[in-house]
Chain A
Amino acid sequence: MSNLIDIKGVRHAYKTPSGPLPVLDGLELSVPEGGFVAVVGPSGCGKSTLTRLVAGLMKPDAGEVWLHGELVKGPKSTVGMAFQNPVLLEWRTILQNVMLPLEIVSTGMSKREQEDRARHLLDLVGLSGFEDKRPSELSGGMRQRASLCRSIVHKPEVLILDEPFGALDAFTREDLWQTMHKVKAEEPFTGVLITHDLRESIFLADQVIVLSGRPAKTQYVMDVHLTGERDIEMLYTPESADALNTLRQQIRIAQGREAA
């Protein structure tokens, strides 16, 4: 099977006044087309660096990042990104915010089609009726929904989510998890999700990767086999409890609190 994303032996260090600070050392990651991988790890282990590498916003010191059989050398319009901060532009309406990537990426869509697509996505995440509102008029969860629409409006092959639900309260977050499944069913993408939330990782992804502490390498890979329709209840089954336990133990190892 061919992989859409292939990260091979990536090493990277940041230059700091007190010498190089290695953040990634021997990172391996592969995501098949249509796959959804969650990356978890201790804080400051280089997870966000990983997203910037995949997005082509920076180059690794060593190793290779491949997207769709092509070596990543710079930013590509086939990538969509969403962050913890929804970064909506306050001077635009919600609809205009969602349409922003279409002003950069040429999709061959007419203005009318672009607008229809943005409206359709907003409807999909439950924001119909808010198209002409300003971001400041929306709640945190709604802003994050709009941000999600913007990240997929240009039909990217790869969606990079850097802790998009991290700043939301627990109930809003669970709502958004359900929305993510709905979006993925209608708008298929290959996804990389950076998260701190283990429940989120097994609820959304079909593979969870645990990174070791800094400098990070791939420490543990777990395939998630949750069957049937995903709803919040399934996080409380014995299988889920086992999976969460395993992951928690791996995180403790990554933090250096427990021997491997």
Chain B
Amino acid sequence: MTLRQIGVPLAALILFGLFWEWLVWVNGWPNYKMASPSDIWPAFWKFRGLFFEYGWDTLWRTVVGLLLSVVFGVFLGMIMGLSRTMRDALYPLLVGFNAIPKATVVPIIALMFVGQHDMNTILIAFLISFFPIAVSVSIGLSTLEPEYRDILASLGASKFTIFWKIALPKTLPEFFGALKVAVTLAFIGTNLMEIVEPHGRGLGHLFDSGKISADYPLMFAVLIALALMGIVLYYVVVALEKVFAGWAERNPT
């Protein structure tokens, strides 16, 4: 990390904050119309205990939902990628399911398992995020060139060996591309549920409390906390990608 790599984004962040503060000040907006950065810190400090407690709830629910997505998405992608019949059968179902706006599913799930806050939230995070993973894995597997299979098949390798040594690693770049999309989606899913569910927990619930008590600086503080958490989750995926699929990145020549 050079000074440039840290300094440039940091300077941009500070400039943005100053500009925001100036914009609110010059227009004389009250903080129920637009909170300024200087309102947000006190709001955070006042509820700092809840921020960490609820932040943890949001984080672990998102991560568990995402893990379920990975397991189920990879499994579904494998089935569709390796069998043409299964692909033809499942694709329309999957596309139809994905076309339903998940915001409409949220109240249904909330009623279906009323009071089960953790399960509801994880379920929505999972439902909203498995689609890109399933599609990318299935495309990665079904577009595997036959020669790749043949180099091992001609030696008498089993289907599983071919999958493990060739098909799976070859699909990793597509998988991580989808995981970057999925992590953001899962995060959206978690918050949708947390906002809607009464008597829940999580940052979404804190946001809703801010809304009910007309505490606008608190709502903005939640937004900033969510943005920070989203960035952290995203870069965790990027770091994993570097470790497991770094080979796909080509050096500029």
Contacts and interface: CB of A to CB of B under 8 A. Distances in A.
Interface residues of B, number: 22
A80 B169 CA distance: 23
B175 to A, nearest CB: 13
A134 interface: yes
Q: Majority SS of interface residues in chain B? A: helix
10 contacts: A81-B150, A81-B154, A87-B147, A87-B151, A89-B166, A90-B170, A91-B248, A104-B152, A136-B247, A136-B250
Contacts of A89: 166, 169-170
Contact of A75 (B145, B156, B172, B250): B156
A22 interface: no
A100 B165 contact: yes
A207 interface: no
A-B residue pairs, 8 tightest by C-beta: A91-B247, A55-B154, A75-B156, A104-B155, A87-B147, A104-B157, A83-B147, A81-B154
A52 B153 CA distance: 11
A74 interface: yes
B212 to A, nearest CB: 52
Interface string A141-181: 00000000010001000000000000000000000000000
Q: Majority SS of interface residues in chain A? A: loop
Nearest to B161: A104
B154 A57 contact: yes
Interface of B: 145, 147-148, 150-157, 161, 165-166, 169-170, 172, 245, 247-248, 250-251
Nearest to A75: B156
B156 A74 contact: yes
A77 B155 contact: yes
A94 interface: no
Given A90-B248, A91-B169, A104-B161, A75 B147 contact: no
